[in-house]
Amino acid sequence: MAVQLSLGSNVGVRGRNLEAALAALGQLPETSLTRRSRVYETEPYGVREQPGFLNMAVEIETGLHPLELLEAIKAIEGRLGRRQAQRWGPREIDIDIVLWDDLILDTDTLTVPHPDFRQRAFVLIPLSEIAPEAVDPVTGRTVAQLAAQPGLQGQVLRLDTGD
């Protein structure tokens, strides 16, 4: 199953945090990293008084079930230093499941597609680079269409290298 993820970091050596997360994702059972976007510098979302983020999108193929993948992602985040803290606050690493083929899932712990991705430039711009034709099964719109809509939240600047 093709799964698109959004990754972000604004604490520590942000580029290294992203690379460590990619390496850990690639080591998950029944999982391979198939695409990755460039890295983007993005303004903070929600809590504005914090350092800027580096964000990117990746696509994986996995045989894991959604809740198994979520559990594995939470373990990766914990190993890389993420602690439960303020919502939308600073974090060493954040990994969100955005799309999972045509899956629509809503549980107490996981909602797919990600409930807020349709308005967030820091998710849609990197995602449109690697999966422009991926379809949001809720709206029927492609990632490219969603990324082109006016009024997306957050400024995004593509970087050639991370820090």
Q: Indicate if the pLDDT at residue 91 is higher than 70.
A: yes
Whole-number pLDDT of residue 163? 46
Q: Indicate if the pLDDT at residue 118 is higher than 50.
A: yes
Q: Indicate if the pLDDT at residue 137 is higher than 60.
A: yes
Is 163 a member of any domain? no
Is 10 a member of any domain? yes
Residue 124 three-state SS: helix
Is 46 a member of any domain? yes
For the domain that residue 152 is a member of, what is the CATH number?
3.30.70.560
The residues annotated as belonging to the active site are 82, 91, 94, 96
The model's pTM is 0.91
Residue 95 three-state SS: strand
Q: Indicate if the pLDDT at residue 145 is higher than 90.
A: yes
Q: Indicate if the pLDDT at residue 8 is higher than 80.
A: yes
Is 85 a member of any domain? yes
In whole angstroms, give the CA distance from residue 150 to residue 34.
Answer: 29
Q: If residue 72 lies in a helix (H) or strand (E), which one and from where to where?
A: helix 66-79
Beta bridge partner(s), residue 153: 120
Q: Which domain holds residue 151?
A: 2-158
- Work out how many domains the chain is built from and give that number: 1
Whole-number pLDDT of residue 81? 82
Is 149 a member of any domain? yes
Is 125 a member of any domain? yes
Q: Is 124 left (phi over 0), alpha (psi -120 to 50) or beta?
A: alpha
Is 53 a member of any domain? yes
- The candidate with the shortest Cα–Cα distance to 163, out of 47, 19, 49, is 19
